[in-house]
Each structure stands twice: as C-alpha cells, then as structure tokens.
Structure 1
C-alpha cells in the first residue's frame, strides 16, 4: 500500500479508501490510484482485511436448485452484482429440511450475509434464522426478520390475463406452478383477480412443477381451451408441443402467454408472448440491500420490481 501511495503521489489513507470502495475519493484521484495498483500488481489481501475489519466481504446464496431457468438466471445476476461491489459469493444448495445446516455452513465460511432464493425462502420462513446473519430473501410474503426483494407477480399475471381477454376470449385457463411456491401463488392470484374483475368465472387451474415436461402433460386437460396463461415459459413450451401434437394451432385455435421471458422465448414456435421479469434488477437490488445492511446497519426493507408484457405471435392472430 505504501508503494502504491508513493507511485500515485497520494497518502496511504487515500489508497486504503480506494481499496475499500469509499466514496470519499474524487474520481481523478481514484483513477490515478487504480492505475498505480494495476501497474504495481497490487491486490487486496482479503484474509488480512477480514481480521482488521471483522468483515470478509463474502455473501452467501441459498438456493433449493439451480436446474430451473429462473434460479440459474438469478445466480448469474447476483454473482455479477456482488462482483461489482467487490464481494465474493458462496453458494449453498438445500433440500427440503436442510436450511439450518445451510446457514451453519455459510457462517462457518465467515459470510457477512446471505441471499435466499425463491423456493428456499419457504424453508427460511419455517426456521429461525441466525440472529447475526443478515438476510435478504427473494420472493416472500412480508416478514420483518429479513429484507425482501420480489417481482410483482400478481400484476404481471393480470397483464397476461387482460391481454388475452382483450383479444376476445371469454375466459383464460391457467397452467399454474407448484402450490408451495410464493411466485406461483401470486401469479395465480393475479390471473384469478383479472377474470373476476372482468365478470368471468375462473376455470380450475391445471398445475405443473415449472418444467416443460409437466407443461406437455397438461395439454390433455387444456385441450378445449382457447386461451391459456402459463405460469412460466418452460411449461408454456411443453404446452405448445402438446397442442401441436393434438393438431391445435397456436394462436389460431388457442392463444398462449407465458411468464419470465427466458432468453429463448422469442425462438419458440410460434414466438412466445410472455411477461418479462427483470432478473438483473432483482439480483442487483438483493445484493445492494444486503450490502447496505452489512456495511451501515440499514433496516430490512421490502422492494417490488415491476413486470411488463412482451407481445409475440403466440397470442395474436
């Protein structure tokens, strides 16, 4: 640090501020110090900094599975957001009864806090989180034990349903997600409310498990539908294949809308109308909220990220 200070013509304290991401350095000086760090090959020694500050600048991620598209995209978003704040990321996957063990493993790794993702949030709510571990959960009912960042699932589902009703369909069937999922319940709630407000009786939902396989299996139960809102794009993909196998044309015989706007949604046959949730914003806000709690003791907050309708060929004739 002394060598960097001499090379940049600044004090060691200024170098320390730059290394620790302090805002109390003007941009020109920061650029000069960073150039000297690069020139001299300076790297922060995380273990030494942890001993001095009591913080490891490592956050944990607790997730039930990385097999789903939504969870893998959230992992990428959170990893990028953590890296941008100079935090390392430790990932722990859990089964149905391992959330306490996951928290213990993260504490053993010395993490400063953790993000709990999607399906794992139910497990976090059903246990007592460690009092000294800052937590942000993604998608959860209100809970004052931790901060919450969530997509506005119900509003997105309402957008999808109202889009199909506006196209002239008398009702909209729903290919729902698992009953244990907060996101699935919220999407079902938004779909149901939109139909009731329009004076239509909600059909009984057909339930899947987020996979395209269960979307395909739902095709038989939705054979007579003229409009379907699927709770995610993967189930919508399976449904599109089932409808094609049954000789039903999309969107001429049945209109389909999904949720998520996965990268390949525009390449489905036909291209899928869907509700876009912004995984990058979700990941960034989760990390920012956690870092604020770690570094300044900020209070836990609830943040809701809006969605938007992306119209493609699967819903318009």
Structure 2
C-alpha cells in the first residue's frame, strides 16, 4: 500500500513543526525517517497515523485521504509511538486480546492472531507475565505485537529502540527487518546506524523540511563527488612516489597521511578514477602498493552537514 504525502504543514502556535513537506513511500518499502530531536519526525508520523490533523496539505494512503477517510486508513496502519503506552498491570495475552477487540477482529480469529503475534514477536516464554515485569526490550516486542495484531499493510514505528541495550537493539532490528519483507514500514530514528542497518531508503528531515531523500549509497556519492583513495606505496623514496602519483592526469591532489609508513590520500578530478593509472605507474616504477582503498564519506558527516547551520 503506497503512501503519498503532499505539502504537509503542521503548526504548534507560531512554530511550524512540519513545513510543506512532500514524499512518497512505495508498497513494501522500509523508509528510514531520520533527523535531529525536534525536527518534526514524530509530528509527521502522528499525521500519517491520523492521530492529529495538519493545517495544510494531505496524505493519501492506498488512495484514501486522511481528511476524508481517516477510519478506513486506521484499519491499514499499525503504530508504535515513541513512549510505547502499555497497560502495565495486564499480562501480555490479555493485553493483546484487548487490542484485538478494539480493532474489531472477529471473535473466532482472535486466538489465532494472538498465537501468531506471540510467535512473530518472540514472546512465547513471557506471554503470561504482567507487562510491568518485562524488560524494556520485551515491552518493545509487546508494542510491536499490538501494532501488528490487526495485520496492517503499513507499520509506523517512532524511535523503536530508544532505551534498549545493544543486544535488545539488534533483536528489535532483526524483527523489524523480518516484518519489513511483508509490509510497508516507516521507521523514525536519530540513530544513523539503526536506519542504515534496517532501511531501504533514507529521508532526512530538519526544521520541519525534507533535506535529503535517497539510499545511504546515493547520499554518500552525492556528498563525496570526487574519488578519494587511501594509498600506501613502498619500494621507492617518498618524495619520488609523491611526484609520480601527482603526475597522473586524473589526479587532482595528493596529501601525506603517514610519512613514516608512506601513506597518501589521493583525490581524483570530478567524474574520473585514478585506480588503474596508479597501478600502471607503480608497476612502471617498480613501486609496491601496500594499500589502496576508497575513503567513504561517513553517513554521520553527511547528517551533520545537512542538519547543522
């Protein structure tokens, strides 16, 4: 089920939390919704889930508008808010049964759905425990189970790994990846590694506006522009090696990284690659290449550049 967001604007008093944003999410896609705290991620997700209404713009989900058919849209959406509100004094099974009834799942199907959710979300050993007795990681699993119990086409997850330890984060990521094979998922986070590990595409929002939309690889290429290589060479005097590499037509700059170990940073001109020419130059001069690796622009650097002024 596709999601189409068109010119969405939401204000809180004089402040625009979301400022005229537009984007699409294709059916079956896992979209990482990334941005610093206060960027407008949670507000956008609340609008998508019909929890709040925008002042301007529209969202169409499966062709239905949030203004005209919010009740129909809600049937197709599973939503896990950041604070994961759960009834602490209910056990898992009773809580999920309660949620199933709210979603008007036919009575004869409820037991089957409960068993499915317990299995999918890895709750078998905990299913009769009170929710307040569960670790934060298991509470997040219960939150995912309540978002999935009515078998929605779209899953909206707001900061699903907040407050979890590293092992729990890995477990929840794996669970989201499995779910993402069958559903459209929008995953909000300010943790770059989480988004890159889980999502097909990344959308970065800052000050209520979309600042980038693409895959992690596309973002790196766009930010990097020129080919940058880390080059280690031995078998010759360092200044002689420097001059020979600098003489290559496609090479724009050569800098020393480590004088003692004869490591250089080599930058090519835009849209040119120097890798083959470096090999040929080293062979011709009887130099030995000890290292030749591309230097990738880190996602953290791109994020910082796009979200700071």
Same fold by TM-score, threshold 0.5 exceeded?
A: no
Higher normalized contact order (CA 8 Å, seq sep 6+, divided by chain length): 2
Higher helix share: 1
TM-score (norm 1): 0.28
TM-score (norm 2): 0.29
Higher strand share: 2
